[in-house]
Homo-oligomer: A and B are copies of this chain.
Amino acid sequence: MKKEIPYKIYLSENELPKYWCNLRAFMKEKPAPMLDSATMKPITQEALSKVFCDELARQELDDTTEYIEIPQEIRDFYKMYRPAPLIRAYCLEKVLQTPAKIYYKFEGNNTSGSHKLNSAIAQAYYAKQQGLKGVTTETGAGQWGTALSMACAYFGLDCKVFMVKGSYELKPFRREVMRTYGANVTPSPSMTTEIGRKMLEQFPGTTGSLGCAISEAVEEASKNADYRYVLGSALNHVLLHQSVIGMETKSALDKYGVKADIIIGCAGGGSNLGGLIAPFMVEKLQGKADYRFIAVEPASCPTLTRGKYAYDYNDTGKICPLSKMYTLGSGFIPSANHAGGLRYHGMTSVLSELYDKGLMEARSVEQTKVFEAAEYFARIEGILPAPESSHAIRVAIDEAMKCKETGEEKTIVFGLTGTGYFDMMSYEKFHDGKMTDYIPSDEELEKSFADLPKIP
């Protein structure tokens, strides 16, 4: 007899995963190695350790250990907001009149408002272990900066955040949340770094980009031996930490004997999606179960659906290592009318490789359609979603409507990565009918691709 499924499946704190799942270790064809921008050779742990904390540099290169133990201190912090609920969207199913069963993993029930905290606390922990004084980072929409501020406050670390200027101005309250947690927040580009000054000279009116903010944060960290740079997405070790999402999701489904058919997530740098699908993808790679995975990205920043699979820099300043990934070119900046995050020019190498091999699908959606889905969802399921997360909602609803047409009782699982409390200015634009869509032209992308590095 099947157990009755509650509205919210909460695992107990004892069921919190003890291990992160290292998806790469299960891939027969590994993602191409990261290259050192100085030598264009595969980067060494030693070189990475100049930028990142030692243990994070180790994790970044580890593609053989299948499961990595989560330190007790991190698990204790996780217990303050995890396990996160897996929610059965009973109300949404009813209103859509779909035979599909819809579930979403809700990562917004913590003050940072998103899944970013899962990696922030791990990175702060390893920085503290190493005896560092502080960390630097960049933030776009602000979720990552908030999460890192919280993590640093917990471990008593100094936290310097370069916030993309457009977001800094659009979201003053995000800045205040970070200040509440003791962080130092600077709009990027800034005059405090060489790359910042260069950008401001070249483009005086720029609203900034994630790629530029990364360069500034890396430069800032390099000025002091007691600091390291930390990054909130795209990297292997971030995906590793985010696998806690997928591990919990799978445990919760298994507990109720539910098998997912389609797993959907939004994709900017790819860390939440990589984390959500990790244990499911392992089963697919091992031939134990089949799943459809769908990455959803903004039509205004269509990395997977229109990008090139090539080596590229992870930052605008071209000082970071290069990754082989789907990319729009490190100089690509999404149109100013683009709301919310998911504005990174590349896609984490693991997901890029899986997508290239046909193990994952990708879809791009326009933002007015995304906000329509967001508002619809809010009114029915109660939760006010972040614009980023609403990309996944859009496609989940679309897939559920396909089931209605075909009569298939598919089980759809999507990641609801965060809340939209700090995105009300974008919601306002949408309510007032002032939100527009933007799809970059082929010419625009070709121009951006022209800047891709030639790897010998």
Which residues of A does B touch, CB under 8 Å?
Answer: 6-8, 10, 12-13, 79-81, 91, 109-111, 113, 150, 153-154, 172-173, 176-177, 179-182, 375, 378-384, 419, 421-422, 424-425, 427-428, 431
Contacts and interface: CB of A to CB of B under 8 A. Distances in A.
Nearest to A11: B10
A256 to B, nearest CB: 13
A99 B8 CA distance: 34
A173 B111 contact: no
B378 A424 contact: no
A419 B113 CA distance: 11
Contacts of A10: 10
Contact of A7 (B80, B150, B177): B80
Given A176-B424, A176-B427, A431-B176, A419 B111 contact: yes
Contact of A383 (B111, B172, B428): B111
Contacts of A431: 176, 179-180
A379 B182 contact: yes
A180 B380 CA distance: 11
Nearest to A12: B6
B180 A427 contact: yes
23 contacts: A7-B13, A7-B79, A8-B79, A10-B10, A81-B382, A111-B382, A111-B383, A150-B382, A153-B379, A153-B380, A154-B380, A172-B428, A173-B421, A176-B424, A176-B425, A176-B427, A177-B427, A179-B427, A180-B378, A180-B384, A181-B378, A182-B379, A421-B422
A133 B153 CA distance: 49
